[in-house]
Amino acid sequence: MGQSMLGQEEKAHYYFKLKHDIQNDSELVLAEFEIKSLMDKQPETIRNFVDDLCMQPLNDFLSTQGVRVQDIITRLPYCGDIQGYHVQADVRNCMDLISRLAYFREFYVLILSKDIEMARKIYTELKGVEDLTFDKSPTIYNISPYAQMFTIQKDQPKILFRFIPFHVLYEPSHYACQLARTVTQADRMYKASILHFQKNFYRPYSPSSARWFKTIEDFIDERDAPQLYLTHYIGVKGKFFPRMVRAITNGIKMKEGELLLDPMCGSGTMNLEAVLCGINTIGVDFHPLFTNITKIKIDSLKWDIEWLRKEIEGLLRDIRLNVEAYTKNKTLSSYMVEKQKAVEVFIPKSLRKGVNEDSLHCIEIIKGCIRDLKNKELQQFCELALAYWIRSMLKKQTIEKIIETYSQRLWSMFFSLYYFWKFKHEVQDLKLGKHLVYTGDVRELEKVIKPGMEYFGKHFVDAIITSPPYGTAIDYLNEHVYALYALDLTKDHLKLDEEHIGSPRVQARMVGNIISKSDDFLTLPTSAQSVLMRMVKFGRKVKAAALYKYFVDMFQAFRQMHNVLAPDKFLVMIIGKEQTIKLGAENGIIDLGAIMEEMGKSVGLMHLHSIDIGLRKASERGAIPTEHVIFFKKAH
């Protein structure tokens, strides 16, 4: 593979090294997909980087003294079937690869040249280097936190770049958010993580399970991939993998300035990833808590970090003063009454069981102090710190624990922004995409996003990437029902539940539509009809009614998505592949992936292919173990 020399100066070798913390080999299809799309060429696999180091053109960079490039290239490889990919292609500006790649810890670009202008074509931000040294041993240039350059001349001069994708530098923010308790600690962790990838080639890894004896560098080097980073950390539990979304965006060749839609956006994983890549985006969800999260996690990227820090410190002081007054007097303090800071948290009678009254009053004090803040978006940001643990706060935690939990969560959210702010000011000033977020129904998608289409000057969206509810497997509304009330996002969760796609609670009489084979029933794919009839036959009528409503709703959603998508463009759906149900003495399988494929085709979309991604952390307690990624395309 690597033995052929470059035929001309304008050619280069590109070596892409996979991240060491990829879950399993099932994800490699996405890694190859993004390389193929970004490079416009089918990559060759690298089984082991040692093989390529033994051959030209890389072999010249081997050295037993001084700069040992081989130690850098072979550190922390992915331990699966392959370690990376190789492409031989034209010399190009690599900034798009640096800013976009999702599945790669680093990549190398090699040219046979001593021309510094040729080097600048590869790395346009190459500054402060005018003369290059070419000796028999490698010379290293640390150009930026994410770029290094090596030079060598044996038979001929060669320049080798090492680039660290921004995604790799974002991910340690996950550990800073978890571990830091002060801004000083967060700052130290940020600096250590940025330096780690360029300096710590010989640093021994400490695998101690005792967290207090580990540093952020040890967490970075573990094979446990961060699920959240930057402002993905803001919000609630239950998101899909950001690197998966980013790789799909790369794979369908979304360009900076194009418009990407997620009509069932949840807490905005896709929207944030798109914005970080300079792609414009619209997010829609029926769940008002989720749309609040999506909006805030993107809006806050532009906030002044010192302003936010001072506001949080002032808010927490205010909360402590008022909570102390309440705990002393068991009544709302005169200060709060005068300032009208107490804001009622309405919890309906049906949800009151187990709610501690003192805890509820504490939440009301926190909410009142938040509402006294002058900036509306800041209020929403601070309220989201309540949403994460609200059920536990109301039912299990003492007043002292509530204050501690809220404070830690709020500071963790701040650290996610602090990390991004430091990166933006010290590493790379990113050009962010624009975004709009709407609370609305995907079944009325054309109407919901019409103002957004006018804002972006579009008749159609350039792509759709979405992850709808996984049938009725996850009760999204009940998971966050207390947050909805605490943040004044609903007055009646039962009414919201009736209209929510994927709700396990529907009117049982809906099963009559299955038995009578109604018009809506007959529009469904035969595979969906078959599973519904089997469920009725085995007496699972309530479950069948809920699943029937889900299928009918999703069919309407497909129609709407088809209507707003531009011709010849992609719709990508990420959904749990299968759901297991009890049918008599045996288990039955609902093949959600296959049913969604049939639905897409029935509304006129072309089904290109599907891939399955195994989830390493799937539990034995019914968690869906496989993500099914379906690629559709709208006909020209």
Report the pLDDT value the prediction gives residue 1, as an integer from 0 to 100. 41
Residue 496 neighbours by CB distance under 10 Å: 18
Mean pLDDT of the chain: 91
Residue 42 DSSP code: P
* Rounded-to-10 torsion of CA 97, 100, 103, 109: 10
Which pLDDT tens digit goes with each residue over 413-445?
Answer: 999 999 999 999 999 999 999 999 999 999 999
Q: What do you get for the CA distance between the two ends of the chain, in Å? A: 38
Measured distance CA(284)–CA(440) in Å, rounded = 6
| Mean pLDDT calculated for residue range 402-407 | 96
> Per the structure block, which two tokens stand in for 25?
């080999």
- d(Cα 291, Cα 344) in Å, to the nearest integer? 23
CB 238 within 8 A of CB 98: no
Residue owning tokens 């009208």: 340
pLDDT over 90 (residue 602): yes
3-state DSSP call for residue 157? strand
Q: Is 24 a residue whose pLDDT tops 70?
A: yes
Q: What angle (nearest 5°) sits at the alpha carbon of residue 427, between those of residues 196 and 421? A: 105
Q: Which residue is it, tokens 């068991």?
A: 330
Q: H helices within 330-375, ranges in order?
A: 334-339, 357-371
pLDDT of 480-530, one tens digit each? 999 999 999 998 888 888 778 888 888 888 899 999 999 999 999 999 999
- Asked if pLDDT for residue 331 goes beyond 70, the answer is no
Task: Give 3's pLDDT tier (boundaries 50, 70, 90).
Answer: very low
Distance, CA of 136 to chain centre: 45
Residues 229-279 have pLDDT tens digits of 999 989 776 566 899 999 999 999 999 999 999 999 999 999 999 999 999
pLDDT of the residue at 130: 81
Q: Distance between CA atoms of 564 and 100, rounded to whole angstroms?
A: 26
Report, as an integer, the average pLDDT of 303-325.
94
What confidence score (pLDDT) does residue 238 get? 58
Rounded CA gap, 347 and 362, in Å? 14
Contact (CB, 8 A) for 220 and 206? no
Smallest Cα–Cα separation from 180: which of 235, 219, 224? 219
**Range in 238-242, 291-295, 467-471, 583-587 the model is least confident about:** 238-242
pLDDT in tens, 49-93: 999 999 999 999 999 988 999 999 999 999 999 999 999 999 999
CA–CA dist 430, 370 (Å, integer): 31
3-state secondary structure of 409: helix
Determine what percent of the chain falls in helix, strand and coil, rounding each to the nearest 5: 50, 15, 35
Under the banding of pLDDT at 50, 70 and 90, the label for residue 536 is: very high
pLDDT above 70 (res 619): no
Torsion of CA 564, 570, 576, 579, to 10 degrees: 70
Residue type present at position 124: T
Pseudo-torsion of CA 369, 375, 381, 386, nearest 10°?
20
Give the separation between CA 5 and CA 569, rounded to whole angstroms. 38
Q: Say which residues have a Cβ less than 8 Å from residue 366's Cβ, sequence separation at least 6.
A: 319, 323, 386, 402, 406
Q: Cα angle vertex 130, ends 124, 131, to 5°? A: 125
Strand ranges of the sheet holding 435-439, from the earlier edge strand across to the other edge: 435-439, 280-285, 259-262, 461-466, 565-576, 626-634, 605-614
SS3 300: helix
Could you give the CA distance from residue 252 to residue 108 in angstroms, rounded to a whole number? Answer: 23
Give me the sign of the Cα torsion angle 249, 250, 253, 254. positive
pLDDT at residue number 336: 47
- Give the rounded percent of residues in the chain with a pLDDT score beyond 90: 76
Write the single-letter amino acid at 629: V
The dihedral region occupied by 622, where left means phi > 0, alpha psi between -120 and 50, and beta the remainder, is: left
Residues 18 and 128: beta-carbon distance below 8 Å: no
Q: What are phi and psi of 207, to 5 degrees?
A: -85, 10
- Beta carbons of 342 and 365 less than 8 angstroms apart: yes
Q: CB burial class (10 A; 0-12, 13-18, 19+) of residue 390? A: buried
Least confident range of 193-202, 589-598, 611-620: 611-620
pLDDT of residue 622: 45
Pairing relationship of beta strands 626-634 and 605-614 according to DSSP bridges: antiparallel
Q: d(Cα 148, Cα 170) in Å, to the nearest integer?
A: 18
* Beta-bridge partner residues of 629: 574, 611
How far is residue 277 CA from its own chain's centroid?
12
Structural domains of the chain ordered from first start: 11-164 (no CATH), 438-474+491-634 (3.40.50)
Residue 533 CB-density burial (10 A; 0-12 exposed, 13-18 middle, 19+ buried):
middle
- Give the confidence band of 337 by pLDDT, cuts at 50, 70, 90: very low
Q: Give the distance from CA 229 to its chain's centroid.
A: 8
DSSP state of 233: G
